[in-house]
Structure 1
Amino acid sequence: MKEVKLETTLQVYTDINEVSEDIQTLMQAAIEAREDAYAPYSKFNVGAAILLDNGEIVIGNNQENACFPSGLCAERTAIYYAGAKFPKAKMLTMAITASSQNQLTDKPIPPCGACRQAIAEYEIKQDLPIEIYFMGAQGKVVKSHSLANLLPLLFESSVL
């Protein structure tokens, strides 16, 4: 047997004011998307914004349904919309923010496993890492240079 150690390096900013103006603009688009989320069941609003290499910013928010598996997370809403509307564009940066209607979310909230896998698919497809910034409603902002930092043993099409 051989033991393998996996390590991840992330950057943590004190708050949104510490990131560049471009990232603040992208995060603000995610915040605005978060405010329009449809989350009557979980009361947990998530917004995502993606900067494409053509300069477009595509947004998404979580969309819930009384039949719970039928809903969709903000990250996948945004990434699938970007893939459908701008199929040739590369996704450069994603900003994610989440807030709860039940409690203060002041810790960075990363994408769920299903969203990580969807983001990974597009990183592999475009052969270019997607920078990911995520935060709660306030507080620290975490930056990952690539989805691979958040999902180091990703499932990909070469095994099919």
Structure 2
Amino acid sequence: MSNKSLSISYEEYSSIDDLNTTDRDLCNEATKAMVNSHSPYSEFRVGAAVRLESGKIVYGSNQENVAYPSGLCAERVVMFTIGSTYPKDKIVSMAITAQTDNFKITEPVTSCGACLQVMAEYEKKQSHPIEVLFYCQNGPIVKTNGIKSLLPFAFAETRLKK
């Protein structure tokens, strides 16, 4: 047996005003993406904005369904939109934010495991890390340099190709 450890590095900003203009703009675009959230059951709106290498911004918002498993998170909505609409345009960065009228969100809301797995797949596909900003509108912003730091043991079975 051997003991191993993992550590990740990330940046934390106390407010959106501390970000560079490019990251600040992307966080603001994620806020705009929440407008199209369909969240009548949880009343928890999530928006994601992705900047592609071409400079194009693509949006996603959570889409709920009365049959709960049939809904989809904002991150997967935007990733699948990119995969089907801009398959050759690399993903540079993405910002994710959330809002609800039921309580105050004071910490960044992070992606669920299913979304992280999808994000890891796209990162692997493009052979380039995806910067992620978890934007709390009333608090700090966490910025990571790649999905691998968020999901170090992502499922990546290479034998499925054969």
When normalised by structure 2's length, the TM-score is 0.95
Deviation per residue, 1:74-122 (Å, 9 max, x gap)? 0010111011111110000000001122100110111110000000000
2:136 is matched with which residue? 136
State the alpha-carbon separation in 2 of the partners of residues 157 and 50 from structure 1. 26
Is 114-123 or 3-12 further displaced after alignment?
A: 3-12
Q: Secondary structure at the match of 2:31?
A: helix
Quick check: 1:39 aligned with 2:28? no
Instruction: Give the residue type in structure 1 aligned to 2:6.
Output: L
Instruction: Give the residue type in structure 1 aligned to 2:143.
Output: K
1:97 is matched with which residue? 97
Given that residues 108 and 141 in structure 1 are in contact (C-alpha distance below 8 angstroms), is that contact kept between their aligned partners in structure 2? Answer: yes
Q: CA RMSD in A?
A: 1.0
The number of residues matched between the two structures is 160
Q: Secondary structure at the match of 2:78?
A: helix
Given that residues 109 and 136 in structure 1 are in contact (C-alpha distance below 8 angstroms), is that contact kept between their aligned partners in structure 2? Answer: yes
State the alpha-carbon separation in 1 of the partners of residues 18 and 94 from structure 2. 17
Identity of aligned pairs, percent? 41
CA shift for structure 1 position 32: 0.7
1:107 is matched with which residue? 107
Q: Secondary structure at the match of 1:64?
A: coil
When normalised by structure 1's length, the TM-score is 0.96
2:118 is matched with which residue? 118
1:151 is matched with which residue? 151
CA shift for structure 1 position 159: 5.0
Tell me, which stretches of 5 or more residues in structure 2 are unaligned?
none
Quick check: 1:13 aligned with 2:17? no
Q: Secondary structure at the match of 1:32?
A: helix
Tell me, which stretches of 5 or more residues in structure 1 are unaligned?
none
CA shift for structure 1 position 8: 1.0
1:22 is matched with which residue? 22
2:82 is matched with which residue? 82
1:58 is matched with which residue? 58
Instruction: Give the residue type in structure 2 aligned to 1:148.
Output: K
CA shift for structure 1 position 158: 1.6
State the alpha-carbon separation in 2 of the partners of residues 145 and 159 from structure 1. 28
